[in-house]
Amino acid sequence: MQKKNNIKNELMAYLLLIVGSLLFAVGDVMFVNPYLLAPGGTYGLSNVLNTVWPWKISYYAICMDIPLLLIGTWILGPKFGVKTVVSTILIFAFTWVLETIWGYDPVIHEGIVAEAAKAHNYVQIPHSSQFFIPDYFLNTVVGGVIYGIAIGLIFKSGATSGGSDIISMIIHKYTKISLGTLVLIVDSCITLTTLIAFKQIRLPIYSIILIAIESKVIDLIVDGIKSYKTVFIVTDKIDEVRNFIINDMKRGGTTFAGTGLYQGAQRKMIYVTLDRSDLIKLKSNLRFLDPQAFVNVIESSEIMGLGFKALPEE
């Protein structure tokens, strides 16, 4: 049974990997490249190179991705699993097919959506002769959502982004600069190449907006919509609060004993993790259970274990 579940989970992971890689190629070829955007990564740089020196995006990207994977494995060790290699190959293949068949035509602005709108004389928007008015910002939003879903699915499959992130990992190994800071620096440098190449300030700005949207969507895909809060409650009415959490809210928690800094008095503290609706319920009832309670609420990015997301199998 366990073996069957493992096979099922592995098949699902590769399905997510395939769909994510396809969406990434769609986002890059149809929504990013036609508007001269470069939202970081090897494909962002490839978009700029493709416009300045016409050659397929996929060729530029694979020429960077393969050496980076080899150098990264040599310097950092075998951190990049099979799925990362498969993702690199799939994105290359899907991008090559799309740019060969579709080309680099836009979809929204001056693309097929705009052409469909022009075919009808819509008057449903005030002061406009069209129902749909295409614009560059709309394309940036759509591109960011597609990129975010794509990379989120790739992350959920167990693969990593690889690419230019490997440069950040290598620099991080030999410096004290945090990995997050290095990723931001590397992607910012790639984004700024649009300003150098095309002399338009709006391009790096749109690219940064796309990255911001993409990151939020990735969080939604990987962590889900549900938001959890970790709550610490210091109270003298420990039994009343405990009974309310267990009996009324049907939640568990942990009790700690502590000593107050000011008076040295022994106090009890409850640690509990709740979703947003349960937190509202707890706060509204705490003022009746113990008006003198001290409450600290912390945002929890990920909760795993009994009653929440399952612990990873590996």
Chain segment 5-43, per-residue pLDDT in tens: 678 888 998 999 999 999 999 999 999 999 899 998 899
DSSP string over 194-243:
HHHHH--THHHHHHHHHHHHHHHHHHHHHH-S--EEEEEEEES-HHHHHH
Query: In the prediction, which pLDDT does 207 show?
Result: 92
Q: Does 305 map to a domain?
A: no
Are 87 and 127 contained in the same domain? yes
Q: Does 80 map to a domain?
A: yes
Residues 151 and 157 sit within 8 Å (Cβ to Cβ)? no
pLDDT tens-digit profile of 258-306?
A: 777 777 777 788 999 888 778 888 888 888 888 888 889 888 766 766 6
The 10 Å CB-count burial string (b at 16+, else e) for 97-125 is ebbeeeebebbbbebebbeebeeeeeeee
In three-state secondary structure terms, 157 is coil
Total tally of structural domains belonging to the chain: 2
* Structural domain range at position 238: 228-300
Q: Of 223, 253, 288, which one is at a domain's C-terminal end?
A: 223
| Residues lower than pLDDT 70 in the chain | 1-5, 79-80, 109-134, 179-180, 223, 225-226, 301-302, 304-314
Tokens of 226: 């549900």
Are 145 and 21 contained in the same domain? yes
Are 208 and 280 contained in the same domain? no
Instruction: Give the span between the Cα atoms of 216 and 219, in whole angstroms.
Output: 5
Q: Please list, in sequence order, all residues whose beta carbon lies within 8 angstroms of the beta carbon of residue 239, skipping any fewer than 6 positions away.
A: none
Instruction: Give the span between the Cα atoms of 11 and 34, in whole angstroms.
Output: 34
Query: In the prediction, which pLDDT does 124 show?
Result: 41
Query: In the prediction, which pLDDT does 180 show?
Result: 64
Residue type, 152: G
Beta bridge partners of 267: 258
Q: Does 74 map to a domain?
A: yes
Query: In the prediction, which pLDDT does 179 show?
Result: 66
